[in-house]
Amino acid sequence: MFGSMFVRSFFMQAGWNYERFQNLGFAFTLRPALERIYPDREKLKAALLRHLQLVNTQPYMASFVAGNVARMEEKAAASADQEAALKSLPGVKQALASSFASIGDRIFWGRLKPMTTQICLLVWAAGGFSGWLFTGMDSKAGMPLLLAGPLTGIVFYSAFAVYWRWRGLKTGYACGGTAACGLDSVNWTRMIRRLSAAGFAMSLAISLLALGMLLALSGISCAPGGIAMRAGAVLGVLVLHRVCRATGRSVFFAAAALLFASLLLFSVFDFRPFELYI
């Protein structure tokens, strides 16, 4: 049962819609458990209809909710008064879904996902590929290195994601029926804090590495005035990004502003005071 639910949990977001969100994926994931719990087809039908209603949580952490719900259904099926036993199910399911969504968003989308990019850039840097930073510069890198960067990040991220999908099912099933099920199984705050610290350390390393490479390459290829102009342009980008963040505008606004200004200066007015490439 767990194996089948686990495999199906990878389709938790299939059919995502604005009316019932992950209802299809959740019912699809839960079906092997429901089939085992309710051999009677009419009861299985009623159970499937219960879980085709609205549900929305973070896709990896949904396993905690699915495991919990499977256990609650099992307890209800064994109970003399099934209706009474199922009364608390929607409330517990909704409470867990919201709580795990908040935790999952912070861990996976807010921290681990950006960390995979950092890992990719660090692997490329270790392999001697800095072409992503200097767009106009010729650089050499083999296909194995170009793929090793993103794939290392993916393996790191997926190891986390797959582990928590599996552990969520097991933990949720073990403590099924309680509104705090699984929420106290790990010190989530500490985990989030540690991931933030690791991410910040990598961000700092990549930023220093990038600035070091910019200064080194500028020193080799241009006069002191040129170095100052290049460093100034980078500083201007950082300031623009900060201003956009402070005023609630997305990074695309900054990108569009830079494109517009560059087109005006270099394409319309043919203004070329220094090398175009940084």
Partner 1 sequence: MLKALVSSALAGLLGLDTVQAGQFLLSRPALIGPLLGWLNGFPLEGARLGAIIELLYMDFIPVGGVVPPNGAVAAAAAVLAHAAGGLAPSLAFFIGLAAGSLFSPVEYRLRAARSSWGRKLDAQVMAGDLGLGRWVTFSLASEAVVTAAFVMCCTAAAGLLAAVPGVARLYPGTDFAYSLMPWLGLSGLYFRFRTQIYKKG
The whole-angstrom separation of Cα 19 and Cα 11 is 18
Residues 6 or more apart whose Cβ sits within 8 Å of residue 242: none
Site for partner 1 in 125-154 (CB under 8 A): 129, 131-136, 139-141, 143, 146-147, 149-151, 153-154
Cβ closest to partner 1, residue 180 vs residue 261: 261
Instruction: Write the CA distances from 230 to 79, 138, 274, integer angstroms.
Output: 73, 18, 9
Torsion (CA) 264, 268, 273, 278 in degrees, nearest 10:
60
Site for partner 1 in 232-271 (CB under 8 A): 233-234, 237-238, 240-242, 245, 250-252, 254-255, 258-259, 261-268, 270
Helix crossing, 113-126 with 143-174: angle to 10°?
150
Which one among 6, 25, 72, 182 touches partner 1, defined by CB under 8 A?
25
Minimum Å gap between C-beta 80 and partner 1 is: 26
Question: Contact region for partner 1 (CB under 8 A) — 76-84, 177-185, 193-201, 216-224?
Answer: 193-201
Q: How many residues bind partner 1 (CB under 8 A)?
A: 102
| Strand blocks (E) in 190-233 | none
Site for partner 1 in 96-115 (CB under 8 A): 101, 105-106, 109-111, 113-114
Cβ closest to partner 1, residue 177 vs residue 198: 198
Which one among 15, 90, 127, 177 touches partner 1, defined by CB under 8 A?
15
Which one among 6, 28, 164, 173 touches partner 1, defined by CB under 8 A?
28
The whole-angstrom separation of Cα 45 and Cα 42 is 5
The whole-angstrom separation of Cα 69 and Cα 88 is 11
Using the rule CB under 8 A, is 227 a contact of partner 1? no
Cβ closest to partner 1, residue 52 vs residue 85: 52
Site string for partner 1, 60-99 (x = CB under 8 A): x---------------------------------------
The whole-angstrom separation of Cα 76 and Cα 80 is 8
Question: Contact region for partner 1 (CB under 8 A) — 52-60, 81-89, 170-178, 220-228?
Answer: 52-60
Residue with tokens 């912070």: 106
Residue with tokens 């194996």: 3
The CB density around residue 121, as the number of other CB atoms within 10 Å, is 22
Cβ closest to partner 1, residue 2 vs residue 134: 134
CA angle 210–161–112, rounded 5-degree value:
25
Cβ closest to partner 1, residue 80 vs residue 272: 272
13: tokens are: 């977001």
Cβ closest to partner 1, residue 128 vs residue 174: 128
